[in-house]
């Protein structure tokens, strides 16, 4: 009890000596001085065993190896981001994966929009993610990544094998998150809870069918509520607190009056948090759908102690793939031979250094923008663990765009012209907000061990 209170009011480093801060701060300082990738790798190699031994006081061998790799990979990715390297030795910190490319809804603005002519706007093939492909992806990036977000444009629960995919991700000591409409007829609530899924976003934009389906075209609200009840009931029966359920409501002019009732409904159903979210503008697809001027907010409806959430990603809850983790731990970092670009631009796209996006057919994209006939965002195809799509030629060309002289007029644009079919050259997306970024890294390490990874340590890992 005293320990918990202390953890809440003081940085652990002030009263305990066994945080990872000193070791990681030293390494971070050394990495700041190394612009060359090979120097950074030398420093990482020599920091690996001491960090592992420190972690080994608190965790089993596989967990200590996995956590060492994940922390060092983040510091390397930060270093290569700062130096604007184009060929990375660092792996993606987070993965965004579509278990299914299909969706039963037709929301405006989406690749699945049911608006007339919408199917011509995007290049989005149907497909279901094969377990073998996902295993290969995990073999390549699982030991170093902290989280996987199961959803880009498809409905993940249309793949009946999604709970198995979640379990595979958990075996690499990753956090697993998923986003769903929950308007699905065949839903195995027990399998979902038992998979170890940490966090589930429920996209529900109203509490009456007429209002809800203005945006969630084809969705059935009764079915959504019934599936929430089954999920909450399965969690209770199985004695679990995860997945943490977050009702996300996109605030539009047509549904804003239902927000108070939606909050009450979320509470009644046993959902853990309620978020009012600012939507993307989709009026270009359906002019009747207009964003509301409402402040985004989150209301926490239940309280889950950190120690219980920690249990969901610790070595006691799920069987880690100790063999794959050990192999990755013993392997030295690859040393890219390509000439490295010097950092000159003030801005670079964070997606290109932090996350990797793969759809159910194995198409690799650099970010969550949707490929279209005008924007060829498919950078690579991932089939086997020997592929390295994070260093595809197009990824490297895209990174090179930000290694030129600064363009202070528009920090969100690439700094020098590139091949016209590289969408990054004319991108107007928010290039700093990635799906698995600083907030998710902070959550991962806080839930892992808030003493070892105290606030100052987490700041080192999250400040880019
Ligand atoms: S520059 Fe734009 S298109 Fe390219 S990866 Fe970043 S966000 Fe995506």
Nearest atom in ligand 1 to the alpha carbon of residue 349 is 6
CA distance 204 to 219: 9
Measured between alpha carbons, how far is 402 from 84 in angstroms, rounded to an integer? 7
Ligand 1 atom with least separation from CA of 350: 6
8 A C-beta contact, residue 59 and residue 453: no
Instruction: List, as one string, the DSSP characters of 104-121.
Output: S---TTSTT--STTGGGT
Report the atom number in ligand 1 closest to the C-alpha of 423: 3
3-state helix, strand, coil in the chain (%, to 5): 40, 10, 50
**Model's pTM, two decimal places?**
0.91
Atom 7 in ligand 1: residue holding the nearest Cα: 431
pLDDT of residue 304: 72
State the Rg of the chain over Cα: 22
Report whether residue 435 contacts ligand 1, using a CB cutoff of 6 Å.
Answer: no
Backbone angles phi, psi at 363, to 5 degrees: -70, 130
- Tell me, what's the pLDDT at 341? 61
Residue in 453, 434, 368, 464 with CA at minimum distance from that of residue 24: 453
Whole-angstrom distance between the N-terminal and C-terminal Cα of the chain? 34
pLDDT of residue 161: 98
The Å distance, Cα 136 to ligand 1 centre, comes to 25
DSSP per-residue letters across 285-326: T-TT--B-----EEEE-S---HHHHHHHHSTTTS---HHHHH
Residue environment code for 94-125, b if the CB has 16+ CB neighbours within 10 A, otherwise e = bbbbbbbbbbebebbbbbbbebeebeebbbbe
Q: What is the pLDDT of residue 311?
A: 60
**Ligand 1: does its nearest atom lie under 6 Å from the Cβ of 424?**
yes
Residue 431 in contact with ligand 1 by CB distance below 6 A: yes
Ligand 1 and 371: CB distance under 6 A: no
Q: Count the neighbouring beta carbons within 10 Å of the beta carbon of residue 299.
A: 12
Averages of pLDDT over runs of 10 residues in the chain (464 residues) are 51 60 93 84 94 94 97 96 92 98 97 93 96 97 98 97 97 97 97 96 98 98 98 95 96 98 98 96 94 95 72 64 96 78 78 98 96 94 91 93 57 46 87 94 94 95 93
For 176, the 3-state DSSP assignment is: strand
The DSSP code for 65 is: H
Q: Best substitution site from 84, 370, 389, 423 to test ligand 1's pocket, by max atoms within 8 Å of Cβ?
A: 423
């Amino acid at each position: 009890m005293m320990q918990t209170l202390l953890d809440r009011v003081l940085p652990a480093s002030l009263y305990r000596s066994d945080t990872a801060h000193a070791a990681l701060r030293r390494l971070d300082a050394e990495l700041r001085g190394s612009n060359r990738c090979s120097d950074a790798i030398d420093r990482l190699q020599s920091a690996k065993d001491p960090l592992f031994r420190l972690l080994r006081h608190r965790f089993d061998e596989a967990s200590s190896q996995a956590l060492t790799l994940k922390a060092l990979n983040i510091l390397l990715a930060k270093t290569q981001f700062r130096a604007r390297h184009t060929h990375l030795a660092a792996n993606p910190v987070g993965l965004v994966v579509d278990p299914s490319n299909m969706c039963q809804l037709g929301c405006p603005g989406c690749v699945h929009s049911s608006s007339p002519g919408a199917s011509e706007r995007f290049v989005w093939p149907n497909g279901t993610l094969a377990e073998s492909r996902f295993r290969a992806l995990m073999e390549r990036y699982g030991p170093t990544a902290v989280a996987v977000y199961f959803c880009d444009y498809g409905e993940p629960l249309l793949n009946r094998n999604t709970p198995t995919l979640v379990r595979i991700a958990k075996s690499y000591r990753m956090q697993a998150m998923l986003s769903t409409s929950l308007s699905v007829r065949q839903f195995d609530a027990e399998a979902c809870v038992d998979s170890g899924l940490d966090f589930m976003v429920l996209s529900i934009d109203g509490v009456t069918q007429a209002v809800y389906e203005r945006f969630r075209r084809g969705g059935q609200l009764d079915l959504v509520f019934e599936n929430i009840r089954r999920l909450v009931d399965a969690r209770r029966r199985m004695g679990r607190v995860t997945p943490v359920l977050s009702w996300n409501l996109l605030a539009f002019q047509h549904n804003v009056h239902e927000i108070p009732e939606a909050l009450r409904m979320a509470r009644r159903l046993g959902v853990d948090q309620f978020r009012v979210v600012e939507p993307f503008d989709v009026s270009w697809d359906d002019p009747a759908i207009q964003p509301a001027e409402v402040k985004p907010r989150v209301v926490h409806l239940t309280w889950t102690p950190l120690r219980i959430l920690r249990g969901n990603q610790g070595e006691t809850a799920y069987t880690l793939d100790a063999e794959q983790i050990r192999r990755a731990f013993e392997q030295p970092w690859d040393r890219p031979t390509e000439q490295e670009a010097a950092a000159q631009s003030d801005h670079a796209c964070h997606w290109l250094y932090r996350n990797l996006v793969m759809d159910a057919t194995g198409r690799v994209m650099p970010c969550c923008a949707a490929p279209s006939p005008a924007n060829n965002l498919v950078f690579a195809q991932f089939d086997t663990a020997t592929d390295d799509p994070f260093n595809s030629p197009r990824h490297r060309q895209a990174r090179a765009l930000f290694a030129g002289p600064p363009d202070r007029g528009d920090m969100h644009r690439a700094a020098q012209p590139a091949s016209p079919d590289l969408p990054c050259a004319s991108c107007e997306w928010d290039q700093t907000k990635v799906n698995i970024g600083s907030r998710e890294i902070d959550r991962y390490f806080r839930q892992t061990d808030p003493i070892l990874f105290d606030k100052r340590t987490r700041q080192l890992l999250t400040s880019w």
